[in-house]
Structure 1
Amino acid sequence: MSIDPYAFCPCGSGKKVKWCCAPFLTQVNRAFELLQEGQHESAHKLFQELLQQHDNRAALWLYYAEFLTHSGQWEQADAALDQALQRDPKLGMAFYMRGQLRQQEGEIQGALMLYHKAAELIAPEAKDQLLNVYAKIADLSHQCRQFLATIYAVDRALQLRPDLPELHRYHEDLFGPNSRLPPTARQRHALRRTRRSIPESFITGRLSDARQGYEQLVQQTPDDPAAWFNLGLIYAWQGESLRAVEALYRSLDAEVDDRLAEQTGTLVEVLLTALGMESVANYLYHFCSMTIRDFQRLLQLFEEKYRLGAIAQMQFHEEEGVLRGFFMEEIPTLAMSEHTPVYRIRARFMIIPPELHLISLDQNQAQSLAQELYEQSQMALEPPRVWTRTPDPRELPLLYGTLVRPGYESDPEVQRRRLQYVADYFEGTWLHQPLKSLEGNSPLDAMGSPRLRKRLFGAVRFMEECYRAVRGLPDQPSEETKAEAEQHYYDFQRLRHKLGLEYTNVATPEPEAEAAQAAVPAAVSSQQASTGEIAGHSTSRATPASVPPRDISAMNIAELAALDRQVMSVDEIEQAMRAALRLEARELAVAFARAGVDKPFDPSKPDRYPLFAAAITGALVQGNYSEALDLIQRGEQYDSEHNRGARAIDYALKRANVYVRMKDVDHAVEAFERLIAQYPQEGKLYTTAAEEMLRLKSADKARYFADRGLRLAHQSQNRDLEEHCRELLAAAEKAR
């Protein structure tokens, strides 16, 4: 095959063949032809002759390494690349080929580092070679969830070959709206205007030069948030997520604009989901892996759990040979006999013989479920092995994910309860959850630190973006869709308001950082540049979004404490009590509860058990048992007169619980006996009574109640109740 002497040389030098590899390239091509024809020895001999003639030519050693890889001689190929780089340490294609070898060995991070190095060294004129390099970077970066590096690599590839429709499809598949990635993870980001420009000598179009320029600039102007942001962004484009996060934290520390702090903080949260960031990540997937000893016995256990409703969406994927599904549990209701159609997800599972993998964002759920299955499998599983990795942002909604029993999906009450479960997670659990990006503080505690408050903007925004993206909601809802969205989706403005997290410092608009952006290859399309979009947002400094009307359930602690309980209705007091409980303001919640139980009868709110229950708990915390018993008696009387006794069983359980707290075994037994006499078919009463007797170290009474529950389980063929009672009997026997 003839060679065009005026084509760019395949070694990546950017020179034409005539002035680069012409002395030996025809012979190199002949060697590869011999290899394809099966004449390996002749091809190898030809290369040896060429190397003797042109030993000092780095590119020839590069071609020889490629020949060895085609021959399956990986170690010899690596040695040949050593020879090439000794002769030319800046031979970009040698780094590219070595990256391929590392990728072949499964060293993904090492391969990425080499590909990035190759992209910096290969001449811009060598478009075909650079296209291959950026394709590798995009593919591996996406596997490692280095989203910014992926976008940058795809953009560079598009600049090289804008005529390739497959590149545009690839970008759309990875980062289009249907990708369900949060906007910050799939949008292009641009450099910001700095107080001082980097020297022109660093404005070469190469990331490595721009990086060096900003590394010097942050030393000269350490209080410039834009300089640190730009350095962090370049680190992220190069796939160095940890360094990027550290630089962006410095940017946040110096930032005075809350809106820019929110953008920077959200970018940090995206970077924390990359593989390899487990030590600093806010959220982790906890894996419990167990080797399967007896597959048939394990399958029987899973089928039984599926029949009992503990497993949902169990499906076998024949092509992959994988069994997948979810372990779930009911979200309890206040009425003990009511079965809810809404379930929370305990863990995902995958069976890939010979392994069972349990996967959960909740470490306790994963480990407790693994131990439960290990014990119930009767030696069908080996003990669990625990490990972690960062989750894909699209998987974070599993933190508050729910499943619904078939046929209930469109039930308005079910939709309301699912939405309430999301609200309870964010306004209860998440508010108090320590986050590493907040230096181990909870969001609520972080509000007390001006420095951490700036990081908190991004933590909230990131969770909002994940929530909206997975549900297919637009990045910015229109006014027409807001009203409908408020009925069906959680409004994160409620969370911001509970935290008191609102924009207070917003700088005046600045023009786009044209000089800064010129320091690196264009990463923003012409359309974006013309519309002034930077970092996925408009460059104009928008005023803070207007806050919707503040209902009681969305108030923060200070606002709740300022409410006048005397003029509030019973329903408003209950809302305030629940809001205080979600904020862990327990004393305030009890104060609302006590005010609520003293209110005159309100026909619109006949059920006051939640208020009485909170007031009773408050009395128990103070050790005031007589007040607790008095409240129970008042509650029973009120419930009988105004609520048709619907809560009788709940008040009776409360009374028994008070006697347990008092360590009064006789009165506790008497209370449980009366309760069981009224509701003999309620299995949970027997197990609750047995558990409380064990707490009181009364093994005989525990055995008595567990035995009665076991008889009921046999009569009703309730396997779950039977198993629970047998466990209690074993515990009672052990305690004797």
Structure 2
Amino acid sequence: MAVDPYAPCPCGSGKKLKFCCSDLLGEIEKVQRMLEGDQPRAALAHLEKTLAKTPGRASLLDLKASIELSLGDLERAQQTVQQHLAADPTNPSAHAQAAILAASFEPGPEELAGGAAPSSRQAVMHLQDAMELVSDSIPARVLQAIGAVGQALLADGDLIAARAHLWLYQGVAGEQDTRAMELLMRLNRAPELPLLLRDNLFLREAPAGHAVEAEHDEAQLLASRGQWRRAEALLEKLCENHPDLDVLPYNAAVVSGWIGDQTKFVAGLRKFAQLVTDQSQDGLPDDAVESEAIAQLLDASNREEGVDVVRLIYSVADEETLVDKLTRSKRTSAYKLSDSELHAIEGLPPRHTFLLLDRDLPETGVGATAETTPRIVGVLSYYGRQTDKPERLELVLDRDEQFDATLGVLAAQLGDAIGEKTDEQVAGRGAGAPSMRSRWRFPDDTPVADRRRVVADEQRRVLLEEWPDKPLAKLTGKSPAQAAADPALKTAVTAALMVLEQTSAASVEAGVFTELRTKLGLPTPEAIDPKLVDLETIPLSRVTRVDLTKATDDDIFSLYKRTELAGATEVARLVAKEAVGRPGLAEDLPPEDLYGRLAALEPELDDALAWIERGRQAADGTGKSNAGWDLAELELRVVEGQFEEANRIVGHLRDEHLKEKGIAERLYELLYALGAVPSAEEMARMQGDGMSPEPAMSDAPAGGSKLWTPGSDEPATGGGSKIWTPS
């Protein structure tokens, strides 16, 4: 394929190739043909020969570095990038290549142990060098670097800087390239990510007519161009000259966060929170509480001390007796590893896996209570003899206050069937108080309603009785009850409660947090009049307090799109319920789409089914098939453990809709995802044996989540993964 002579020159000058490095057009075309023919090493060899004849040409060095990076040859790429920078130090593309290179490095164990700055932080600085050299449009290589640095920051867990870079990429790339937006939405779907960290941080405006206005506007202009380091320097100078203007430390903190300086980010947010609190005439300002809450979420210096997750390895004295006891004991429960767990195991998987329980598993879970339902205290894996290892039993558990009691349970159940402990390893680190992480093993026949009641009762007890008296590092070692009585810690304890609410809201009734505020003597957040705020930029964490009936259609539409992007499920539910009754939004937000969204968001089954029924009626009214709504109801019924109703819907779909395009496939995919039918491979084997399995819902336990969360039956193994890792 011929190179377009009117395309931007790869040297990064911003000029067209024809008017910049036109003498190299033929050589660049040869390299391009080799790359299209999957001959990257031949392309490298040709570039080296050409560079020998015309040394230091930026366009050739840029191509060479890109090919070396694509091959993973980071050492050679580093040499090429250094040559590029030396030959053309004011070329933004050269600095962009340095950023891409730094983003490609992963720190080794020695660097991590020595506290070295992550390579992503170095990549940010190289990228800022490039951004500060951009005079007009952003060169393609710089845009590529923005995306690469954003991904590296995500992999390192720097959410604030990663989000800023991905938004910058999306803003420059436009609608033709949605990769950054897809990554942002994928990140926002992580259920463990608090809403405060999903929302966008907007720079605040300086007061009109203030002496700082002109310089502040300049800082905002620099920030809008992605020159965040320069904006930070200017804002920090303004902070020194105008220490009482609260908008300055906030904006300085935000741009510090965008360039990956979390220490400055946290300190700036706290300075801002203190300023607005000191200047407030009425209660605790929302700005102060939210800023302190974000600081608590990101401040590594006041993280609560967790517990080690340890792996104990025992020799096996009597294999037959061991397996028999594990199978017969009421303190153990057989556990089937998921496909993802099996793939994560290095070497051969265990022959048997069991959950170790703190009390006997009851015969029935009907009428279950927290006192009768066992908690999971460990995972047992039995490995048979291998070439290089004898038989062994591994126990993974928390080294918490129940550690010795758990070992006592193990000894009592297995006795002489196991031998000596041969090894002990730290497998990871558990966060938070063990009492906040109840992990249940319900009997298989436990009704969904009983499971939820047990979980809710236990969470209520922990939140109202244990949490208020637990010393917290973020409260200078005081308990929430003590901090609530200390005026100097009022903002901090209110923020700590906000963090707790956001990280638990999906599974805890909102009324519990109202009770908790009352118990601690903390103020209840007031309702918000939408006419007095800017709903375009209002923090999503406040939207639940907004009287949405007074908002305009444009505001509702804007809020809905923001909540969808942020994955703010509770806020999205409230906004969607308001939107569905507004005829003026029907074109932009079709009611049928809102019915489906609301059915997925409603926490109560009856409310969700009501939206599905409205969807059916809308489909009937337009002559469309309502099979999609049947599938939606089927999923809800299964999750709720209503298997008789689920079987009825399966029969209805089979009799009435199976011949419709795509329905059979969607039904199978849904049933497989819910664990109701075997995989395609298993189906083929069964049919080969003359068996024809009939899809039907069995009375299996609802759920199936492998996360160790309050209320889950079974634990995840491994752990320690970051929120998002680039594939």
Q: What's the counterpart of residue 406 of structure 1?
A: 444
Q: Percent identity between the aligned chains?
A: 17
Q: Distance in 1 between matches of 2:152 and 2:317?
A: 35
Q: 2:465 aligns with which of 423, 428, 434?
A: 428
Does the 8 Å contact 1:341/1:408 carry over to 2? no
Does the 8 Å contact 2:249/2:272 carry over to 1? yes
Tell me the TM-score normalised to structure 2 length. 0.57
2:492 is the counterpart of 1:449: no
Does the 8 Å contact 1:131/1:157 carry over to 2? yes
Counterparts in 2 of 1:163 and 1:52: CA distance versus 1, 3 Å: closer
Q: Distance in 2 between matches of 1:433 and 1:314?
A: 36
Q: Distance in 1 between matches of 2:256 and 2:86?
A: 28
Structure 1 SS opposite 2:456: helix
Q: What's the counterpart of residue 275 of structure 2?
A: 254
2:271 is the counterpart of 1:244: no
Displacement, 1:244? 1.7
Q: Residue 274 of structure 2 aligns to which amino acid in structure 1?
A: D
Q: Distance in 2 between matches of 1:304 and 1:127?
A: 64
2:133 is the counterpart of 1:102: no
Counterparts in 2 of 1:398 and 1:163: CA distance versus 1, 3 Å: farther
Q: Distance in 1 between matches of 2:425 and 2:411?
A: 8
Q: Which moved more, 1:146-155 or 1:75-84?
A: 146-155
Counterparts in 2 of 1:77 and 1:498: CA distance versus 1, 3 Å: same
Q: What's the counterpart of residue 195 of structure 2?
A: 183
Q: 1:267 aligns with which of 288, 294, 301?
A: 294
Displacement, 1:347? 5.6
Q: What's the counterpart of residue 162 of structure 1?
A: 175
Q: Deviations over 1:163-195 (max 9, x none)?
A: 34555444333325x746321121222123446
Q: What's the counterpart of residue 288 of structure 1?
A: 310
Q: Distance in 2 between matches of 1:28 and 1:371?
A: 72
> Within 5 Å, which residues of 2 pair with 1:65-104?
65-70=65-70, 73-89=73-89, 91-103=94-106
Counterparts in 2 of 1:35 and 1:241: CA distance versus 1, 3 Å: same
Q: Distance in 1 between matches of 2:327 and 2:254?
A: 48
Structure 1 SS opposite 2:337: strand
Q: Distance in 1 between matches of 2:53 and 2:423?
A: 62
Q: What's the counterpart of residue 610 of structure 2?
A: none
2:536 is the counterpart of 1:532: yes
Question: Aligned residues, how many?
Answer: 495
Tell me the TM-score normalised to structure 1 length. 0.56
Q: Distance in 1 between matches of 2:153 and 2:543?
A: 28
Q: What's the counterpart of residue 343 of structure 2?
A: 320
Q: What's the counterpart of residue 60 of structure 1?
A: 60
Extract unaligned runs of 5+ from structure 2.
278-283, 363-368, 548-727
Q: Distance in 2 between matches of 1:299 and 1:9?
A: 74
Q: What's the counterpart of residue 2 of structure 2?
A: 2
> Within 5 Å, which residues of 2 pair with 1:466-545?
466-469=503-506, 471=507, 485=509, 491-502=512-523, 531-537=535-541
Counterparts in 2 of 1:364 and 1:540: CA distance versus 1, 3 Å: closer
Displacement, 1:493? 1.2
Q: 2:425 aligns with which of 377, 384, 394?
A: 384
Displacement, 1:45? 4.9
Q: Which moved more, 1:534-543 or 1:195-204?
A: 534-543
> Within 5 Å, which residues of 2 pair with 1:555-570?
none
Does the 8 Å contact 1:293/1:382 carry over to 2? no
Q: Distance in 2 between matches of 1:421 and 1:125?
A: 57
Q: Residue 342 of structure 1 aligns to which amino acid in structure 2?
A: T
Q: What's the counterpart of residue 308 of structure 1?
A: 330
2:229 is the counterpart of 1:208: yes
2:469 is the counterpart of 1:461: no
Q: Residue 452 of structure 1 aligns to which amino acid in structure 2?
A: L
Q: Distance in 2 between matches of 1:234 and 1:325?
A: 49
Q: What's the counterpart of residue 172 of structure 1?
A: 185
Counterparts in 2 of 1:303 and 1:435: CA distance versus 1, 3 Å: farther
Q: Distance in 2 between matches of 1:491 and 1:285?
A: 27
Q: Deviations over 1:454-503 (max 9, x none)?
A: 1222211111111123x3x8xxxxxxxxxxx5xxx662111111211116
Displacement, 1:389? 7.3
Does the 8 Å contact 1:138/1:154 carry over to 2? yes
Counterparts in 2 of 1:420 and 1:85: CA distance versus 1, 3 Å: same
Q: Distance in 2 between matches of 1:541 and 1:115?
A: 40
Q: Deviations over 1:255-299 (max 9, x none)?
A: 314321221122123324xxxx3x432364633245787799699
Q: Residue 282 of structure 1 aligns to which amino acid in structure 2?
A: E
Q: Distance in 2 between matches of 1:166 and 1:72?
A: 22
Counterparts in 2 of 1:506 and 1:456: CA distance versus 1, 3 Å: farther
Extract unaligned runs of 5+ from structure 1.
474-484, 513-528, 544-736
Does the 8 Å contact 1:342/1:402 carry over to 2? yes
Q: What's the counterpart of residue 120 of structure 2?
A: 112
Q: Residue 385 of structure 1 aligns to which amino acid in structure 2?
A: V
Q: 2:358 aligns with which of 329, 347, 364?
A: 329
Displacement, 1:95? 1.8
Q: What's the counterpart of residue 153 of structure 2?
A: 141
Q: Distance in 2 between matches of 1:218 and 1:161?
A: 34
Does the 8 Å contact 2:331/2:359 carry over to 1? no
Structure 2 SS opposite 1:382: strand
Q: What's the counterpart of residue 342 of structure 1?
A: 373
